Amino acid sequence: MMEMTFLDVAKEAALSAGCMIRGETHRQHTVSRKQGFDFVTEVDRKSEEIIRGVIQLSFPDHGFFGEEQVSLDSRSEDELLDDAPEYLWVVDALDGTTNFIRGIPQYAISIALLHRGQIITGAVYDPSRDEMFAAARGQGATLNGQPIHVSPVENLSDAILSFGYPASDMEMRRQTVERFNRLSPMLGSIRVFNCASLLLCYTACGRIDITFEQGIHLWDMAAGLLLVEEAGGTVRTAGGDPLTIHARGNLAGPDSLVTKLLEQDVGV
């Protein structure tokens, strides 16, 4: 049997979890509030268990960094990342939980693999649309096996911008609304999806032109960041600085649009 690649395993894990999530779509769920408007269900936990099982079957020595796991650890996210093994799987088992709870079809499974702190593999699966976004560093990005590329739009006045609204950080909410107010007169249109991984995937395939989001975590965006880069785009922090795995937000899109937006925006 041919040995499975990192990307093969990421896609298999995402599909397995997505199949379970589809079966849970119209059922009642046990919902817990983490903080603010940030929720978790039993489906999040079941999805993470499925993903962990698939990954450990092929790579039992690799580390695992998932939202539900981190919530149970006494160490901070940054401490866990600094102490990570050579290979670390970064997983959001159900990104967009609030949308899932409300029956809004904007949620996904996000799986990325880091090697010595660099994102080398990413898969994001949207079970509502049966869409698999996938990328391996240096090999381009695909949607259901077909190559994708960021938008060719060059002018902010023609661009669709998307952003996420922070779930629990009130200061980040204020900053996001202020930035929206500054940018809206110069943009073609704006969308708010509140599913970080899909925002980045939609940027990678050109459905939207540019996106920014604050108050999120590595598991929300790791796979999507790689997808944007491999689709020919640029990723930075929400404020425009070089992006690291410790960032709590992102700004992504074609390099020309990202540059123009930062030139026009006074920052956050």
> 206 and 102 in contact (C-beta within 8 Å)?
no
Cα separation, 14 vs 111, in Å, equals: 7
Amino acid at 65: F
Kindly list the distances between the CA atom of residue 225 and the CA atoms of 46, 111, 236, in Å, as whole numbers in the listed order: 25, 11, 9
Average pLDDT per block of 10 residues along the chain, 268 residues long: 79 97 75 52 88 96 84 82 95 92 93 97 98 98 98 96 83 87 92 93 98 92 98 95 94 96 74
Cross-strand pairs, 31? 41
**Domain 6-147 carries which CATH code?**
3.30.540.10
Is CATH 3.40.190.80 what the domain over 156-264 is classified as, yes or no? Answer: yes
Domain coordinates of the chain in residue numbers?
Answer: 6-147, 156-264
Residues 6+ apart with CB under 8 A from 27: none
Q: Which helix (H) or strand (E) holds 188?
A: none
pLDDT tens, residue by residue, 164-204:
888 767 888 888 888 888 989 999 999 988 899 999 999 99
Cα separation, 69 vs 86, in Å, equals: 18
pLDDT tens, residue by residue, 129-139:
999 999 999 99
> 155 and 148 in contact (C-beta within 8 Å)?
no
pLDDT tens, residue by residue, 259-268:
999 998 854 4
User: Of 215, 145, 134, which Cα lies nearest the Cα of 179?
Assistant: 215
pTM equals 0.92
Q: Do 156-264 and 6-147 have the same topology in CATH?
A: no
C-beta pairs of 44-50 under 8 Å, 24+ apart in sequence: 44/68, 44/93, 44/94, 44/97, 45/93, 46/20, 47/17, 47/20, 47/21, 47/93, 47/94, 47/109, 48/17, 48/91, 48/93, 50/13, 50/16, 50/17, 50/20, 50/93
Cross-strand pairs, 122? 112, 135
- Sheet of strand 131-136, all strands in order from the earlier edge strand to the far edge: 63-66, 87-95, 108-115, 118-126, 131-136, 141-143, 146-147
